[in-house]
Amino acid sequence: AEMIRKVIERARWGEENKPARNYTFQEHVVVEKLDDNDQVKEREERVFQLVRIEDEPYLRLVQKDGKPPTEDDLKDEAKRETEFRKRLAERKQGKSDDEGFRFDRELVSKYRGQVLGRDTVNGRPAYVLHFEPKSDDLPVRKRVDRLTNKLAGKLWIDAQDYSIVKAEGSLIEPARVGWGLIANFTQLDFSVQMVRLDNSFYLPQHLDAVLRGRVIFSSTHERRIFRWTDFQKNETAVQKGSTR
pLDDT digits (tens, 9 = 90+) for 54-101: 888 999 999 999 999 999 999 999 999 999 999 888 887 775 555 567
Among 11, 103, 20, 49, which residue's Cα sits nearest to residue 228?
A: 49
d(CA 32, CA 126): 32
Determine the pLDDT at residue 178.
Answer: 61
> Could you tell me how many residues make up the chain?
244
Count of alpha carbons within 13 angstroms of residue 228, beta-carbon side = 19
Computed on alpha carbons and rounded to an integer, the radius of gyration of the chain in Å comes to 19
Q: How much is the pTM?
A: 0.86
Determine the pLDDT at residue 119.
Answer: 97
d(CA 181, CA 204): 31
d(CA 159, CA 120): 10
- What does the pLDDT profile of the chain (244 residues) look like in tens digits? 889 999 999 999 998 988 888 899 999 999 999 998 889 999 999 999 999 898 889 999 999 999 999 999 999 999 999 999 998 888 877 755 555 678 889 999 999 999 999 999 989 999 999 999 999 889 888 888 888 999 999 999 999 999 999 999 999 999 887 655 467 899 999 999 999 998 889 999 999 999 999 887 788 999 999 999 999 987 554 443 343 3
